[in-house]
Chains A and B, each alone.
Chain A
Amino acid sequence: MTLPLMRPKRKNPVKRTRQMNVPPWARGRVAMGLTAAAAEGRFELQVCQDCGSVQYPPREACSHCVSPRLQWRAQSGQGQLLALTTLHHSNDLFFRERLPWRLGLVHLAAGPTVVAHLHGDVTAAPARVIVGARLDRAGRAVLIAFPPEETPNMADDPMLREMSCDPRFRKVLVTDGMTAVGQATVRALVKAGADIVWVGHAEPWKRHGSGLDDITSLPPVTLVPLDLTNERSVTELAGEIGGKVDIVINNAEVHRSFGIGARRGTDVARAEMEINYFGLLRLAQAFGPALKGRSADGSLSATAWVNLLSIYALANFPPHGTFSASKAAAHSLAQCLRAEMRPAGLRVINLFPGPIDDEWNQNLPPPKLTPDALAHAIVKALRDGVEDAYPGDVAQEWLARWRDDPRVLERELAVGG
């Protein structure tokens, strides 16, 4: 039985902070399909489109009929644990620093035999297990064998915590507490057991109100001054709390409607870019280095960076044209951030919600995403350790259409979606 994670003692600041050595990251191009699916929380294996064989490890041809027509398809993960072992020795620094480490050999009901990391609640072979795919600290997919039914404190398994970014007992910065999404996120984090939630407030001289009082009354919450348009403000806050933050959630955004023709000048577009794009850049420059330095700091290490993007980042929605452009810019920058954070074992999580049910999407028809649903999606993404999440029905539909053919989607959006 997994022991519940206890609140760790405060770290002696004089002691050396352990540096991150990420697990082996090298994979072949074909094997990256496993990672692409796991980055969105799915366990997929190659399935032959000619004979239906499911195969693993990933290959360039079907090992049954030699067809090249292989597609990645979702798997149930049902399987039988054939054997398990506990490693007391490893040739890799990441594992060497975390020994003993448990592994299992699982015969999937779908056919293949897989090597998997073993959840602590799977204790003997043979046994029924469920195999799932997770990203490890190198940002690459690995398979994990879970017990077939939920067990108490399952998420507190030390191996699983290495793969996920669970906010439990962690210290989180939410960059904007003024919005409904920000406040819902703060409440969700407190409920998820976050140790401290710092909440950014761009205009601290203003009287509280609009929901801010409600969240500041929660014990873990502390309001901090943070204006993402102001480099000095960002740097000052990083100097104060940067060395303690485990998770950054950048939810600050400026959202105005209209595209090019309905407005004169660039002031509004500039304001959007100033927060949505440059705000992210300022934040990443100020908070990134300290986060990277603490990514292997025990069970409560720095672990993740969350960006609130938009499904409009994938394809421009002309009625919100300049906002879409600013989110596309932020998306591109977030890819750069992810590449720079990955060697430190930090996860960059991008959320691509559809229209949120707020004042700036007033004229859009339902379904619209409630702030609570988005907050829930943020916490779930952290717990599952995924890299990309598309919460809401609109986002899911756009994503499917975009994957099908981005050029068709572009034309459909031009005539109103």
Chain B
Amino acid sequence: MTKRSRRSYEGVAVTVPVTVPYVRYSTRGAHWFIGQAVKRLLDGSGLQKDQIDGLTVSSFSLTPDTAVGVTQHLGLQPRWLDHIPTGGASGVMALRRAARAVQAGDADIVACVAADTNHVDSFRLMLGGFSDFARDATYPYGSGGPNALFAFITSAYMARTGATRADFGKLCVDQRTNALAYGSRVFRKLLTLDEYLATRPIADPIHLFDCVMPCAGAEAFLVMSEARAQDLGLAYATVRGSIERHNAYSGDPIMLRGGWHVDRDDLYAMADCTPADIGFLQTYDDYPVIVLMQFEGLGFCGHGEAPGFVRSRSMAWHGDFPHNTSGGQLSSGQAGCAGGFLGMTEALRQITGAAPGRTVGRPTLGLVSGYGMVAYDRCLCTGAVILGAPQ
């Protein structure tokens, strides 16, 4: 059987990136952050609430509600709805679904919202109940959360490729530079490599600055037709190609590669480009080692070659390989599922010229990568989307 080629995302516009500023802890619920995000989408687009006829919601702390509960909470009446609580992959997945709904005419304007709150004890409470497998087979082992699992992956990756802590440190230092240009509320000081190396161990070889800080916040954007975006006078990006894959390479005893590799040829074929044409990259950076795997999986360097790649490039916004130009989660914090939208909203800002003080030199094409959901020993969802300026 020959594989059918994927249809293009022609005519779809992605626009109005909004962020509800992150706070370390909040006494508000997830509904509050979702509400604030929707409010910002309306304010930013000039739309009336009833013009939003499609909605995707990505949230962990919304439970026991799902997206449908949000419709009543905010008084929305969408004719198309999706609930996508897939953490780091939720941004890519929401965009893909919303774009197809708009193309098919199932919805005209889709609000894609990701939001999570963070109470003082909510991270601990979430860990043990994150998945069946986490409850049965990882949380009873030291209760370190994902730190312990990514410690295994990081140490195996270091042994396999020769990556050093300094390589991970370079990534974190560059992202901190970007976070300050972005105006992060979580970290306000530049980071030096020595400071990175000197932080306390959390789960060897993972140290403090390899971990993201759980916080509360929201990210959101709108998906509509290009014609509609032009009518509304909104600056937008177009979707050149996208992929997603779940539970890839499940036979690998330990994760040293992700699902991007399986589908990346499709991704670049759809966008009619190569990795060399990508002007900036937004990866999902829950741990530095996963960023290196994305560099490899998305074809920016060969399998196992990311450490050398990192050493030879500058990943600050003004460097020769602009990466996570808003600081990523490592320097801006992880607001639950909103962490999976962070790269998307930043990519939209870069492409639409709304990234003052950190605009990359070549913003015509940007790649956003997603990675999410540690059910057991690795993240299951991988995805990517290439966005471009309207032609």
Residues of A within 8 A of B (CB): 23-24, 26-28, 30-31, 56-58, 63, 82-92, 94-95, 101, 103, 105, 107, 113-117, 125, 136, 138, 140, 142-143
Interface size on B, residues (CB 8 A): 39
**A113 close to B142 (CB less than 8 A):** no
**B141 close to A84 (CB less than 8 A):** no
| Stretch of B148-156, B215-223, B306-314, B331-339 at the chain-chain interface | B148-156
A84–B142 CA distance with the chains assembled, in angstroms: 13
B137 at interface by CB-CB < 8 Å: yes
Please, which residue of chain B has its CB at the minimum distance from the CB of A58? B136
**B155 close to A85 (CB less than 8 A):** yes
Knowing A107-B253, A113-B254, say if A24 contacts B133 (CB, 8 Å). Answer: no
Set of chain B residues within 8 Å of A87, measured between Cβ atoms:
142, 144, 147-148, 202-203
Contact with A along B125-167 (1 / 0, CB 8 A): 0011100110111111111110111011101100100000000
Shortest Cβ-Cβ A-B pairs, 4 listed: A92-B143, A85-B151, A31-B136, A57-B137
Set of chain B residues within 8 Å of A30, measured between Cβ atoms:
136
**A82 close to B140 (CB less than 8 A):** no
A338–B364 CA distance with the chains assembled, in angstroms: 67
Shortest C-beta distance, B254 to chain A (Å), equals: 5
Set of chain B residues within 8 Å of A92, measured between Cβ atoms:
124, 128, 139, 142-143
Contact with A along B185-223 (1 / 0, CB 8 A): 000000000000000111111100000000000000000
**B135 close to A115 (CB less than 8 A):** no
Knowing A82-B253, A82-B254, say if A117 contacts B141 (CB, 8 Å). Answer: yes
**B141 close to A28 (CB less than 8 A):** no
**B137 close to A89 (CB less than 8 A):** no
**A115 close to B200 (CB less than 8 A):** no
**A89 close to B152 (CB less than 8 A):** no
**B135 close to A27 (CB less than 8 A):** yes
Indicate which residue in B127, B128, B155, B200 contacts A84 across the interface (CB closer than 8 Å): B155
Set of chain B residues within 8 Å of A28, measured between Cβ atoms:
132, 135-136
**B127 close to A113 (CB less than 8 A):** no
The 20 listed contacts between A and B (C-beta, < 8 Å) are A28-B132, A58-B137, A82-B156, A83-B152, A85-B155, A85-B203, A85-B204, A88-B202, A88-B203, A88-B204, A89-B147, A103-B152, A105-B254, A107-B253, A113-B377, A115-B138, A116-B141, A117-B142, A125-B155, A125-B156
**A24 close to B254 (CB less than 8 A):** no
Most A C-beta atoms less than 10 A away, residue of B140, B201, B376: B140
Shortest C-beta distance, B28 to chain A (Å), equals: 23
**A91 close to B132 (CB less than 8 A):** no
Contact with A along B294-334 (1 / 0, CB 8 A): 00000000000000000000000000000000000000000
B80 at interface by CB-CB < 8 Å: no
A95–B142 CA distance with the chains assembled, in angstroms: 6
A88–B207 CA distance with the chains assembled, in angstroms: 10
B25 at interface by CB-CB < 8 Å: no
A30–B132 CA distance with the chains assembled, in angstroms: 10
B123 at interface by CB-CB < 8 Å: yes
Indicate which residue in A63, A82, A85, A91 contacts B145 across the interface (CB closer than 8 Å): A91
Indicate which residue in B135, B153, B202, B376 contacts A83 across the interface (CB closer than 8 Å): B153
Shortest C-beta distance, B308 to chain A (Å), equals: 22
Set of chain A residues within 8 Å of B123, measured between Cβ atoms:
91
Most A C-beta atoms less than 10 A away, residue of B135, B143, B153: B143
**B201 close to A88 (CB less than 8 A):** yes
Most A C-beta atoms less than 10 A away, residue of B152, B155, B206: B152
A56–B250 CA distance with the chains assembled, in angstroms: 13
**B137 close to A23 (CB less than 8 A):** no
A56–B254 CA distance with the chains assembled, in angstroms: 14
Indicate which residue in A58, A91, A142 contacts B140 across the interface (CB closer than 8 Å): A142
A92–B133 CA distance with the chains assembled, in angstroms: 17
Set of chain B residues within 8 Å of A94, measured between Cβ atoms:
143
Please, which residue of chain A has its CB at the minimum distance from the CB of B135? A26
**A136 close to B140 (CB less than 8 A):** yes
A107–B255 CA distance with the chains assembled, in angstroms: 12
Knowing A57-B376, A87-B142, A91-B143, say if A27 contacts B136 (CB, 8 Å). Answer: yes
**B133 close to A57 (CB less than 8 A):** yes
Set of chain A residues within 8 Å of B153, measured between Cβ atoms:
83
Set of chain A residues within 8 Å of B142, measured between Cβ atoms:
87, 90, 92, 95, 101, 103, 117
Please, which residue of chain A has its CB at the minimum distance from the CB of B129? A26
Knowing A57-B376, A91-B123, A125-B155, say if A86 contacts B203 (CB, 8 Å). Answer: yes
A125–B155 CA distance with the chains assembled, in angstroms: 9
Shortest C-beta distance, B181 to chain A (Å), equals: 30
Shortest C-beta distance, B260 to chain A (Å), equals: 21
Indicate which residue in A24, A82, A101, A117 contacts B139 across the interface (CB closer than 8 Å): A24
A101–B142 CA distance with the chains assembled, in angstroms: 7
Shortest C-beta distance, B138 to chain A (Å), equals: 5
A103–B151 CA distance with the chains assembled, in angstroms: 10
Set of chain B residues within 8 Å of A57, measured between Cβ atoms:
132-133, 136-137, 376
A367–B123 CA distance with the chains assembled, in angstroms: 57
Set of chain A residues within 8 Å of B124, measured between Cβ atoms:
91-92
Set of chain B residues within 8 Å of A115, measured between Cβ atoms:
137-138, 141, 148-149, 377
A68–B109 CA distance with the chains assembled, in angstroms: 43
Set of chain A residues within 8 Å of B136, measured between Cβ atoms:
27-28, 30-31, 57-58
Shortest C-beta distance, A288 to chain B (Å), equals: 26
**A142 close to B141 (CB less than 8 A):** yes
